[in-house]
Amino acid sequence: MRCRARYLGLLAAFAAIGLSGTPVMAAETIVVTPQSITDEKAVFATVESISVVPARGRIGGTVIQLHVREGDRVAAGQAIATIGDDKLVLQMKSLDAQIEALQAQANQAQLDFTRTEGLVERGILPRIKLDEQRTALNVAENGLRAKTAERAVINEQLNQGQVLAPADGRVLKRLITVGSVVLAGDPIVTVAQQNFKLRLRVPERHARFLKAGDKIRVDGAEFVGEAAKSGVIDLVYPQIEEGRVIADATVEGLGEYFVGDRLRVWIAGSARPAFVIPSSYVTTRFGIDYVRLRKGDATIDVPVQRGRDLPTPSLPDGLEILSGIRSGDQLVQP
């Protein structure tokens, strides 16, 4: 009983101190004014690539090599698979044999032309023989050039057996295995471009508050060992799908490995007036928050209800006060 009476006496003493007027010492004073703040709403977003493009084979044949697997990073133009076609190899060998035969014919035509030219100059043969040999030489050379060009076409088709990455990014999925038979244009792997976006799906009742350029915040809890990240909404899609508005946002350091990762994101909602003061003006005694008000030449401590922290560039330690003060009150820093 004695301890309880002593405790009640201490409480009464502190209450008397808080309610009694005390002379105002030289302290910094601010005037309470309402500010317009924006409430934040939590929505879910997914990490997605700007675009997912397939790497396609340019010729048909059998996949004989596959150089990548899921998760590998690739650069634009990098060879990621090789397609072989036995028919092209056989055509190449056939053209090589024909080119050798045509080369021999062209060489023989050149010898015949040179020999005939000498005989015509000495008057042994008529000039019409020289024209015939010149025509035969032109025919042989043109046939050789035609077969050489045809061989170059087949060689280019063999080179097109290399499947190249269409863009810088990361391999999401392999669609074939070594030994698979593919046709020209079949996709081999899918590549997600390396610039990832955060795709938000916002309930349509918040659509009127959402616009390009708005700031968003990603909880630090979504990134192990990292602080919270902020970003900017780039695009709000005009079509509503299943009661949700789709928007894309850019967030620095978002990561570029897991595609489809779900994150909790805070977006700007409706605006409302609120009282925001520096947190240094609030003191806590026995679990109750107080602010010191100036009343004439004295100050009194008034209990208030603390809200959430609202830091701003001009007020890094901003704190919302839900009740206990009103516009025009003069706060004295304890």
Contact yes or no for 34/274 (Cβ under 8 A): yes
Predicted pLDDT at 17: 40
Band of pLDDT at residue 3, cut at 50, 70 and 90: very low
Residue with tokens 């020209």: 184
Assigned token pair, 36: 């317009």
Main-chain dihedrals φ then ψ at residue 146, nearest 5 degrees? -65, -45
The pLDDT of residue 142 is 92
- Residue 257's pLDDT band (boundaries 50, 70, 90)? low
Per-residue pLDDT reduced to its tens digit, 29-44: 888 888 888 777 888 8
Average pLDDT rounded to a whole number, residues 268-297: 87
Q: Are 207 and 240 in contact (CB under 8 A)?
A: yes
Evaluate whether 310 touches 40 at the Cβ level (below 8 Å).
Answer: no
The closest of 205, 198, 209 to 40, measured between CA atoms, is 209
CA pair distance 181, 159, nearest whole angstrom? 17
> Who wins on pLDDT, 25 or 287?
287
CB contact set of 10 (below 8 Å; sequence gap of 6+): none
Alpha-carbon span 312 to 30, nearest angstrom: 17
Distance CA 146, CA 308 (A): 81
Strand intervals (E) in 68-208? 73-74, 79-84, 162-164, 169-174, 181-182, 187-193, 196-203
Q: Is 281 helix (H, G, I), strand (E, B) or coil?
A: helix
Asked if 319 contacts 278 with a C-beta cutoff of 8 angstroms, the reply is yes
d(CA 29, CA 250): 41
Whole-model pTM over 0.85? no
Instruction: Tell me the two tokens of residue 248.
Output: 């894309």
Q: What is the pLDDT of residues 59-75, one digit of tens each?
A: 888 888 898 988 888 99
Q: Contacts for 8-16 with beta carbons within 8 Å, 24 or more apart?
A: 11/286, 14/285, 14/286
